[in-house]
Amino acid sequence: MKIQIYIFLILTLHILNINANTIHVPADIDSIQGGIDLAVNGDTVLVQPGIYYENINFNGKNIVVGSLTLTTGDTSYISQTVIEGDSSGSVVTLKNGEDSTAILYGFLVTHGSGTGSGPYISDPKQGGGIYIENSNPTVNNVYVVSNSLDGWCISQGGGIYIEN
């Protein structure tokens, strides 16, 4: 009986993953956000080494966004796969109820400037590198470096800001 249950679980998991796709950046699409936009829950956006000048938002999708560290285990890809925010807001945003299956894996996240117009209490700058709100994502093997906030009154989480 235990063997039958085990086989049933394995087959069920396999069937659930049959429809999962891998979107390759830049081979399939030239930006990480473009890959996210194409993805549906369960998909993987696999990013080749390079510098990607963009700010990404998972937009409520429970997907995996990873560098080659994800598939090879080689951590040298972390510093070779850069999401460069160009000081135009939070580099990575997860704020639409993403759960633990929303995964950011194996990147260097840099030069973010936070979400919000700041510097006032009513709208502080938050999360220069990574901004997480009302979500429970998984973030692994991510270097958060040289992010900042420019608010003089209230600013929170130059590197990472997490709320709820």
73-84 burial code (b ≥16 CB/10 A, e <16): eeeebbebbbbb
pLDDT at 149: 78
Helices (H), strands (E): how many in the chain?
A: 4, 15
pLDDT at 123: 62
Could you tell me the pTM of the whole model?
A: 0.84
**How far apart, in Å, are the Cα atoms of 156 and each of 84, 109, 122, 123?**
20, 17, 13, 11
pLDDT at 2: 60
pLDDT at 1: 58
What value, to the nearest 5°, has the Cα angle with vertex 44 and ends 53 and 35? 40
Instruction: Going from the first residue of the chain to its last (164 residues), give the mean pLDDT of each consecutive group of 10, the final group possibly shorter.
Output: 55 56 97 98 98 98 98 97 93 96 98 72 74 96 90 68 88
Tell me the sheet residues that pair with 45.
23, 65
| 3-state DSSP assignment of residue 3 | helix
17-32 burial code (b ≥16 CB/10 A, e <16): eeeeeebebeeebebb
CB 132 within 8 A of CB 112: no
Sorted by sequence, the CB contacts under 8 Å of residue 121 that are 6+ apart come out as 153, 154
**How far apart, in Å, are the Cα atoms of 123 and each of 76, 143, 151, 153?**
38, 27, 10, 10
pLDDT at 156: 73
